[in-house]
Amino acid sequence: MQVSENFAVDDFLRSCDKPFTLKDFTRRMRENGFNLNQDESDAYLAESPYVFQFESGEFITRAAAFTGKYFSFTLTAEEIKNKMFVPGHRLMPFVDEMQNPAAFTFICDGKKLDSRVGEFRKETALDLYRLFGEEYEVQYIASDPALSNLDLAAVDFELPSRVKITGCDISDFIDGIGLTVGDRILCRVINWDKGVIEIEPIHKERENNSGTVQIEESDRERILWCEKFEKSLIKIIETEGPCSTIEEQLAFTFFDNIEILCTRNCDSVENFLARSKKIGLELFGVETRLWYKNQIVPAVGSWNGSEMEKDPCELQNLTFKIPEYILDSYLKDFEYSKEKDLTVLMKRMFPANFALTGEEKKYVFLHIAERYAIIKKDYNYFADYPVGAIRKQALSLYSRVSALVYDVESSSAQFNQFPQQELVILSQLFTHINRILESMNSNPDAAVEDEATLELSIEGMECNYEDIVDAIRYVVEKQRRSDFTVV
């Protein structure tokens, strides 16, 4: 798709407020001047993070599904002390996951509430962002405008003992109705696209100002809510597996039982996790997922291969491919390194045992040469110099990771025969290094600005690769010897 088409599609999916069919979507795009065929429309909707699909085949956007639905969280001691609440992960999955938590707008009784910056202990801050995953929570905190002067790379991604966080000012409610620790903030998304959330402070009456809380029917409803939420989440774990993120796991969970879980007397995911004896945050490769406590999150399960057939499409993107931005990255590195022989570059791009017929080699080489002519025409060594070294490091890792992906893909061993955590990590590394190269190709200036962070990230991935390569190659070689014996 062209950029303008992407904008048109995203605009529709961010604002559509009722269920629609594939034909409805295609027709709307045509009305906007974009002629997408049915396959293109279907592919876009299948890949979009903004869409749910009903069993009937109809679709509904996140905006339509979650606007006006209730969710809540309870206030902590440090929030009361700072007279504010921190959005953190608490709005998940009801809002746009791509929006910075500090950028949402909160209203109460039709009045926009002010933002406020408070200082929190590092441990508290991490707790308020942990549903983004242990691998991302520090980066989310550091992206807060109140920490604009913090250079994460310079401190090895370690937060200081106290951090400043932007949140919503609730001083009027603390000073007015006596809002205190353990009281709730009930929320509803009013405008999903613009990130506008309506809040209602829920203050619990205490007996004779002694601090003793009266047990009410609403409290019993929240206990039942946790039981219902657990059943719904377990169903998603069993049918959808670890999904692509925790946010996606939660989105499916709430959407699956939206009328039951999105009530005024709902509890929060935070409180559920604090009480649950079955579900916790568990490692999934180098990431984190909601899973059964103290159990390894497997790469293969009933959600992606009950027959245990090895279909690369079933395990995220664990299939060898060279997208156009990867080819462009190789060609820019070719110019950056002042090389001359494209046949050497072609060998570097493909794994050593990658099979190409003579005709295929001619076709691929011709495509590379044509693309190279375009790249070379506008290439400027001095402009490219700042990003060249980072790209070279990223491509070196990509070559090793993609070769291992191809070995797994071309092996006759089934996915369940590989060590599961190592296989998950390989898939995640392949995804992450692809994203880095795509980002560097489209926005080299940003890569230069984040040079130190990128270098640390790539170095970390190199260590992850070294940790898994032997275990995965052992299965590949073992199966290769077995295949040879059978022949």
Q: What is the pLDDT along the chain (487 residues), one digit of tens a residue?
A: 455 777 888 888 998 989 999 999 999 888 888 888 888 888 888 888 899 998 888 999 999 999 999 999 999 999 999 999 999 999 999 999 889 899 999 999 999 999 999 999 999 999 999 999 988 899 899 999 999 888 877 777 889 999 999 999 999 999 998 999 999 999 999 999 999 999 999 998 766 555 566 678 888 999 999 999 999 999 999 999 999 899 999 999 999 999 999 999 999 999 999 999 999 999 998 899 999 999 988 887 878 764 344 443 344 455 667 888 999 999 999 999 999 999 899 888 888 778 778 888 888 889 999 999 999 998 999 989 989 999 999 999 999 999 999 999 888 888 888 888 899 999 899 999 999 999 898 888 888 888 878 888 899 999 999 999 999 999 988 888 776 554 4
- Pairing verdict, β 212-213 and 115-121: unpaired
C-alpha pair distances (Å), 8 with each of 3, 11, 32, 62, 65: 9, 5, 8, 17, 20
Q: How far apart are CA 451 and CA 189, in angstroms?
A: 37
Q: How far apart are CA 195 and CA 83, in angstroms?
A: 22
Q: Is 426 exposed, middle or buried (0-12, 13-18, 19+ CB in 10 A)?
A: buried
Question: Would 347 be classed as within a structural domain?
Answer: yes
Closest to 70 (Cα-Cα) out of 266, 232, 268: 266
pLDDT of residue 314: 41
Backbone angles phi, psi at 190, to 5 degrees: -100, -40
Q: How far apart are CA 198 and CA 116, in angstroms?
A: 17
Contact 298, 420 (CB under 8 A): yes
Which tokens belong to 140?
Answer: 């989310």
Q: How far apart are CA 468 and CA 163, in angstroms?
A: 35
113 and 140 within one domain: yes
**How many domains is the chain partitioned into structurally?**
4
Q: How far apart are CA 179 and CA 200, in angstroms?
A: 11
Backbone angles phi, psi at 450, to 5 degrees: -100, 25
pLDDT of residue 32: 83
Closest to 171 (Cα-Cα) out of 210, 117, 211, 125: 117
**pLDDT tens-digit series, residues 433-449:** 999 999 898 888 888 88
Contact 288, 135 (CB under 8 A): yes
138 and 223 within one domain: no
Q: How far apart are CA 468 and CA 457, in angstroms?
A: 17
Question: Would 39 be classed as within a structural domain?
Answer: yes
Which tokens belong to 252?
Answer: 């499916």
103 and 38 within one domain: no
pLDDT of residue 321: 75
145 and 44 within one domain: no
Long-range CB contacts (< 8 A, 24+ apart) of 205-208?
Answer: none
Question: Would 306 be classed as within a structural domain?
Answer: no
Q: How far apart are CA 190 and CA 213, in angstroms?
A: 31
Closest to 391 (Cα-Cα) out of 464, 336, 344, 432: 336
Record the pTM: 0.81
pLDDT of residue 211: 57
239 and 364 within one domain: no
453 and 371 within one domain: yes
Which tokens belong to 389?
Answer: 């070294």
Q: How far apart are CA 51 and CA 15, in angstroms?
A: 11
Q: How far apart are CA 473 and CA 408, in angstroms?
A: 8
Domain span at residue 161 reads 70-207
Question: Would 214 be classed as within a structural domain?
Answer: no
83 and 51 within one domain: no
Closest to 411 (Cα-Cα) out of 305, 297, 312: 312
242 and 139 within one domain: no
pLDDT of residue 8: 84
Task: Identify the domain boundary among 20, 49, 64.
Answer: 64
Question: Would 269 be classed as within a structural domain?
Answer: yes
Q: Is 456 exposed, middle or buried (0-12, 13-18, 19+ CB in 10 A)?
A: middle
Quote the mean pLDDT of the chain: 88
148: CATH: 2.40.330
Residue 345 neighbours by CB under 8 Å, 6+ apart: 330, 331, 334, 339, 368
Task: Identify the domain boundary among 151, 174, 207.
Answer: 207
48 and 31 within one domain: yes
> Hey, CA dihedral for 457, 463, 468, 469, is it positive or negative?
positive
415 and 361 within one domain: yes
**Other Cβ atoms within 10 Å of 40 Cβ, number:** 16
pLDDT of residue 307: 39
Question: Would 183 be classed as within a structural domain?
Answer: yes
Q: How far apart are CA 24 and CA 480, in angstroms?
A: 50
Cis preceding-peptide flag for 93 (omega within 30 of 0):
yes
Q: Compute, in degrees rounded to 10, the torsion defined by CA atoms 90, 91, 96, 99.
A: -60
Question: Would 303 be classed as within a structural domain?
Answer: no
40: CATH: 3.90.56.20
For the residues of 121-150, what is the DSSP string, one character each? EHHHHHHTTGGG-TTTHHHHHHTSGGGTT-
Q: How far apart are CA 213 and CA 164, in angstroms?
A: 31
319 and 465 within one domain: yes
368 and 478 within one domain: yes
Question: Would 91 be classed as within a structural domain?
Answer: yes
Task: Identify the domain boundary among 155, 178, 207.
Answer: 207
CA atoms within 13 A on the CB side of 262: 22
